[in-house]
């Protein structure tokens, strides 16, 4: 198969740039039509490059997801496994709460079209990257047994969604994450 044509690549890049702005401005259900208009292409071209809205979201957030995964890998060597996990969770929360549409993309692709790129979708990538941190923390006794990386990511995306309409999503999300980590009940002895 020959490589993509030059104009196709150009359009792809322009769409991605425009989409990022539009999603930041209007959330995960920004108008695809509007994105096409701003990028100066026909609406069919959008659908050609991104078959589904979800595909577009994944593409827009890919870099950020990869950064988070790299962050997790970097933390893999830390001696303090609990601190490492918490730092990463905090970073993920910050991204999910700050970048509009990311949280929705994360929950949606759990239940996206089945058998459709289910290996390297955003949430799967995060799960895979975070899993070692969770495992090490659990082995150290720094994490309640039974808590999975999936649980943690679900909690984070939930927090991000719930704080989306808050005046200051980032700090509120971080607060809620802290509560979740420590627990809502005080240490009883």
Which residue reads 């994490």 in tokens? 143
Cα separations in angstroms, 127 against 32, 72, 122, 150, 172:
29, 10, 9, 6, 24
**Closer residue to a copy of itself, CB minimum distance, 69 or 161:** 161
The whole-angstrom separation of Cα 109 and Cα 114 is: 9
The whole-angstrom separation of Cα 168 and Cα 81 is: 30
The H-or-E segment that residue 35 falls in is helix 32-39
176 near a copy of itself (CB under 8 A)? yes
CB 35 within 8 A of CB 46: yes
Q: Of the listed pieces 37-45, 66-74, 125-133, 165-173, which binds a copy of itself according to CB under 8 A?
A: 165-173
- Residues numbered 104 to 163 that lie near a copy of itself (CB under 8 A) are 107-108, 110-111, 141-145, 147, 151-152, 154-155, 157-163
Nearest approach in angstroms of CB 26 to a copy of itself is 15
DSSP, res 42: -
Q: Give the alpha-carbon dihedral of 178, 84, 125, 172, to 10 degrees.
A: 20
59 near DNA (CB under 7 A)? no
Q: Could you tell me how many residues of this chain bind a copy of itself (CB under 8 A)?
A: 38
Nearest approach in angstroms of CB 99 to DNA is 19
Which residue reads 């070692």 in tokens? 132
Site map 2..41 versus DNA, x via CB under 7 A? x-xxxxx--x-----------------x-xxxx-----xx
Q: Which residues bind DNA (CB under 7 A)?
A: 1-2, 4-8, 11, 29, 31-34, 40-45, 47-49, 52-53
Q: Which residues bind a copy of itself (CB under 8 A)?
A: 82, 107-108, 110-111, 141-145, 147, 151-152, 154-155, 157-166, 172, 175-176, 179-188
């Amino acid at each position: 198969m020959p490589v993509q044509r030059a104009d196709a690549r150009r359009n792809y890049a322009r769409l991605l740039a425009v989409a990022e702005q539009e999603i930041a401005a209007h959330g995960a259900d920004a108008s695809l039509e509007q994105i096409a208009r701003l990028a100066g292409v026909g609406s069919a071209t959008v659908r050609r490059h991104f078959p589904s809205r979800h595909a577009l979201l994944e593409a827009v957030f890919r870099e950020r997801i990869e950064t988070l995964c790299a962050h997790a890998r970097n933390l893999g060597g830390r001696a303090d496994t609990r601190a490492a996990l918490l730092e990463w969770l905090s970073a993920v929360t910050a991204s999910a709460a700050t970048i509009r549409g990311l949280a929705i993309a994360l929950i949606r692709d759990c239940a996206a079209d089945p058998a459709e790129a289910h290996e390297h979708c955003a949430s799967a990538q995060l799960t895979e990257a975070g899993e070692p941190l969770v495992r090490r923390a659990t082995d150290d006794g720094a994490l309640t047994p039974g808590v999975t990386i999936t649980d943690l990511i679900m909690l984070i995306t939930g927090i991000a969604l719930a704080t989306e309409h808050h005046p200051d999503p980032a700090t509120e999300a971080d607060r809620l994450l802290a509560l979740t980590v420590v627990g809502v009940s005080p240490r009883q002895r």
